[in-house]
């Protein structure tokens, strides 16, 4: 029976992976088609928006495209201007392209509906599998809801950077507060004593530590609870908090020069109100800080890189502060510290600028610290800094995150691994 459950779970995971890949591929194809039509039908209008914001239209949502098409006159702002003797042919071509655009919109809507249906089906299959496991689970002498999964590898607080270690120490001493009457439905404290406890720990990690990425939340709560990392015993309470409206969740992604993403969380307004009733003084979440100070919503790829670099720095034993406050013209993306060594870091997906590197060097005693997207980007940035006679350190997110084309397991990364891949 155990082998059957494992095969069933593997089939579900494979189906989920294939569905996600298909949905992402279709979304990219539709985005490329819509972009091509915009260039052909409304090129001048599109180019005008690009001049105002160079990241357009890569960051546009469906609502942004709808607003764009509503504000242009198709057929009059394209690249090619009609000749005096070719109006009829151009009008026929415009009608044809409008028809293609409508067809693409319909296909996109159908794809979104199919993806939603597939997601609901996957969730239903997962729920049925969990119910089957619960029915066949052998009885033991422990109270209901108190059983803990045997840990494969349990970290100690001493292995963590300061931010995580402080949170673990605080939560290990805390008395779990009871659910206020106003939030009893959302918290559902009678569901399971241990699940309610872990909901409180997740909320504390976000509210008091300002942590936003799921991987970091998993690690902190797992250490407090003496569990192996990436266990569903932590993830399910987090999902419950999202469903109940106490947390807001989003998966943010970067597509170029390689594809990666992060699941991130922040307190909802109800979540903040609950923490206030518990007497917690909440801090600004790292995801919220990037959105407020660094155009985090418009520059989603840069937000992914910044949060991911902070995660990888902490996995390797460094403390990391996002958007530190400093004097002067420089505005570094991060500050990282370890053992008396401190760097102000610029996360750069493009080329950067001479002035930026010199301002950054002013904070680092004449040196720079860079995180590029991949090896090629890192080599380009290092060459530019050397041309300015600036020394420093550099790394890149893809090398930190992948082995070849395979994403590394975060649980395999230890403080013994170097953060900087190049020093000059």
3-state secondary structure of 393: strand
Query: What's the N-to-C CA distance of the chain in angstroms?
Result: 57
DSSP 97-140: HHHHHHHHHHHHHHHHHHHHHHHHHHHHHHHHHHHHHHHHPPP-
Does residue 325 form part of some domain? yes
Nearest CA-CA partner of 376 in 256, 291, 260: 256
Within this chain, do residues 132 and 10 fall inside the same structural domain, yes or no?
A: yes
CA neighbor of 203 nearest in space, from 250, 284, 272:
272
* β-bridge mates for residue 371, sequence order: 347, 395
Q: Are strands 247-254 and 402-403 parallel, antiparallel or unpaired?
A: unpaired
Encode the chain (424 residues) as per-residue pLDDT tens digits. Answer: 666 666 777 777 777 777 777 777 777 777 778 788 888 888 888 888 878 777 787 778 878 878 888 877 655 444 444 444 456 777 777 778 877 787 777 777 777 777 777 777 777 777 777 777 676 655 444 444 434 434 456 777 777 888 888 989 999 999 999 999 999 999 998 878 889 999 999 999 999 999 999 989 998 998 888 887 666 778 899 999 999 999 999 999 999 888 989 999 999 999 999 999 999 999 999 999 999 988 767 889 999 999 999 999 999 999 999 999 998 888 999 999 999 999 999 999 876 677 888 899 999 999 999 999 999 999 999 999 999 999 999 999 999 999 888 888 877 888 899 999 999 9
CATH number for the domain including 249? 1.10.10.10
Determine the Cα–Cα distance for residues 164 and 210; give it in Å rounded to an integer.
Answer: 11
Cα–Cα–Cα angle for 302, 303, 305, nearest 5°? 65
Domain boundary among the residues 224, 250, 283 is at 283
Which range of residues forms the domain containing residue 196?
157-283
In a domain, 149, yes or no: no
Give which of 56, 62, 52 is closest to 31, Cα–Cα: 62
Q: Which of 229, 251, 283 is at the close of a domain?
A: 283
Query: How far is Cα 91 from Cα 72, in angstroms, rounded to an integer?
Result: 16
Q: Where are the beta strands (DSSP E) in 196-273?
A: 247-254, 260-267
Last residue in a domain, options 80, 105, 136? 136
What is the C-alpha separation between 402 and 421, in angstroms, rounded? Answer: 14
Phi, psi of 335 (to 5 degrees): -125, 130
The verdict on pTM exceeding 0.75 is no
**290 assigned to some structural domain:** no
- For the chain, what is the radius of gyration of the CA atoms? 25
Instruction: Please tell me the total count of domains within the chain.
Output: 3
- Quick one: 273 and 308 in the same domain? no
């Amino acid at each position: 029976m155990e082998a059957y459950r494992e095969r069933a779970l593997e089939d579900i995971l494979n189906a989920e992976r294939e569905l996600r890949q298909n949905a992402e591929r279709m979304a990219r194809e539709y985005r490329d088609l819509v972009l091509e039509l915009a260039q052909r039908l409304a090129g001048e209008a599109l180019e005008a928006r690009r001049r105002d914001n160079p990241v357009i239209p890569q960051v546009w949502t469906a609502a942004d495209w709808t607003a764009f098409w509503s504000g242009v006159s198709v057929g009059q702002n394209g690249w090619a201007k009609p000749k005096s003797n070719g109006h009829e042919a151009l009008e026929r071509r415009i009608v044809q392209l409008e028809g293609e655009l409508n067809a693409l919109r319909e296909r996109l809507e159908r794809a979104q509906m199919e993806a939603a249906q597939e997601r609901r089906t996957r969730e239903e299959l997962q729920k049925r599998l969990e119910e089957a496991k619960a029915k066949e689970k052998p009885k033991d002498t422990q109270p209901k809801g108190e059983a803990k999964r045997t840990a494969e590898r349990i970290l100690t607080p001493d292995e963590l950077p300061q931010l995580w270690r402080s949170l673990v120490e605080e939560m290990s001493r805390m008395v779990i507060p009871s659910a206020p009457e106003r939030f009893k439905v959302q918290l559902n404290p009678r569901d399971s004593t241990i699940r309610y406890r872990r909901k409180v720990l997740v909320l504390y990690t976000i509210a008091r530590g300002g942590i936003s990425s799921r991987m970091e939340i998993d690690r902190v709560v797992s250490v407090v609870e003496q569990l192996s990392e990436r266990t569903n015993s932590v993830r399910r309470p987090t999902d419950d908090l999202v469903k109940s409206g106490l947390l807001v969740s989003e998966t943010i992604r970067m597509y170029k020069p390689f594809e990666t993403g992060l699941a991130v969380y922040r307190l909802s307004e109800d979540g903040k109100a609950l923490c206030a009733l518990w007497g917690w003084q909440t801090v600004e979440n790292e995801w919220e800080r990037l959105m407020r100070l660094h155009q985090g919503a418009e520059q989603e790829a840069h937000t992914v890189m910044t949060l991911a670099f902070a995660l990888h720095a902490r996995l390797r034993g460094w403390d990391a502060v996002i958007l530190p406050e400093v004097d002067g013209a420089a505005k570094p993306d991060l500050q990282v510290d370890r053992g008396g060594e401190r760097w102000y870091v610029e996360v750069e997906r493009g080329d950067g600028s001479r002035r930026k590197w010199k301002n950054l060097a002013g904070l680092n005693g004449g040196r720079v610290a860079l995180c590029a997207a991949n090896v090629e980007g890192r080599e380009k940035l290092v060459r530019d800094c050397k041309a300015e006679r600036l020394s420093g350190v550099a790394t890149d997110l893809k090398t930190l995150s992948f082995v070849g084309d395979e994403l590394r397991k975060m649980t395999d990364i230890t403080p013994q691994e170097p953060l900087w891949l190049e020093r000059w």
